[in-house]
């Protein structure tokens, strides 16, 4: 099965098409999507279910100078070797076990291999990782927060909301990259965007039109065969 069937830059025509053509895009053109389209996507995404209809999401839509200032501050923090940022909520396990470790390594090697970045080339790896803090040049950056008093279930609801946004973006001919990288610099993000201490950064998301010429966007991530994780009982 060729992974290339998932590379499609036009608008998704069905839910299946949106799901299949959503990929994490890591290079965008500078074309600004109409703001009413972004607003419509977010509004429709709120139809996501949430336990007892809590609707735990809070979204900051970042463009122009605000986005630029945030990116400059985050890049400076990322480049500062003295700047020891502590994460607030762990997205990844402290101890990696199989099969997750191998999957994580594969996507890393595939990404850096595609870009010609050799294993151990710390400077190039740093520069590529830093592109997270430029929203991969996407003209729209979204920042998602959640109230710190909410429980794990609300994070589950949040994932559904985020997926809705990514699928609706495909319908609008847009692409996205969800970015946990932003939560590593939650102090910088909160200071720049004047976010209340009661909120926790869930993640960021780059939104825009994919740069079709960028090699990095040729990356198609692998999925395990359903036989690996589905058991039909009864």
Ligand X SMILES: Cc1cc2nc3c(=O)[nH]c(=O)nc-3n(C[C@H](O)[C@H](O)[C@H](O)COP(=O)(O)O)c2cc1C
- Which residues contact ligand X (rule: CB under 6 A)? 23-24, 26, 107, 132, 177-181, 203, 221
Between 172 and 203, name the residue whose CB sits nearer to ligand X: 203
CB of 36 to ligand X, least distance (A): 26
CB of 232 to ligand X, least distance (A): 25
Between 34 and 116, name the residue whose CB sits nearer to ligand X: 116
Between 61 and 115, name the residue whose CB sits nearer to ligand X: 115
Between 24 and 145, name the residue whose CB sits nearer to ligand X: 24
Between 34 and 109, name the residue whose CB sits nearer to ligand X: 109
State the SS3 of the chain: CCHHHHCCCCCCCCHHHHHHHCCECCCECCCCCCHHHHHHHHHHHCCCCCHHHCCCCEEEEECHHHHHHHHHHHHHHHHCCCCCCCCCCCCCCCCCCCCHHHHHHHHHHHHHHHCCCCCCCHHHHHHHHHHHHHHHHCCEEEEEEEECCCCHHHHHHHHHHHHHHHHHHHHCCCEEEEEHHHHHHHHHHHHHHCCCCCEEEEEEEEEECECCCCHHHHCCCCCCCHHHCCCCCC
CB of 29 to ligand X, least distance (A): 18
CB of 46 to ligand X, least distance (A): 18
CB of 133 to ligand X, least distance (A): 10
């Amino acid at each position: 099965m060729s992974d290339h069937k998932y590379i499609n830059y036009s608008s998704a025509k069905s839910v299946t098409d949106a799901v299949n053509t959503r990929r994490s895009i890591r290079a965008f053109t500078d074309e600004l999507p109409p703001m009413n389209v972004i607003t419509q996507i977010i509004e429709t995404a709120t139809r996501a279910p949430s336990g007892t209809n809590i609707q735990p999401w809070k979204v900051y839509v970042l463009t122009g100078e605000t986005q630029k200032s945030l990116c400059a501050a985050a890049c400076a923090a990322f480049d500062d070797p003295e700047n020891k940022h502590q994460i607030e909520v762990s997205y990844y396990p402290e101890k990696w076990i199989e099969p997750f470790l191998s999957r994580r390594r594969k996507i890393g090697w595939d990404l850096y291999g595609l870009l010609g970045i050799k294993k151990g080339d710390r400077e190039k790896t740093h520069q590529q990782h830093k592109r997270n803090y430029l929203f991969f040049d996407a003209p729209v950056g979204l920042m998602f927060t959640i109230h710190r008093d909410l429980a794990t279930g609300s994070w589950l609801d949040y994932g559904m909301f985020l997926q809705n946004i990514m699928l609706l973006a495909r319908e609008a001919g847009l692409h996205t990259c969800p970015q946990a990288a932003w939560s590593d610099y939650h102090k910088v993000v909160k200071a720049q965007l004047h976010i209340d201490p009661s909120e926790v950064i869930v993640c960021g998301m780059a939104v825009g039109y994919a740069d079709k010429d960028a090699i990095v966007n040729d990356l198609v991530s692998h999925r395990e065969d359903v036989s690996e994780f589905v058991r039909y009982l009864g």
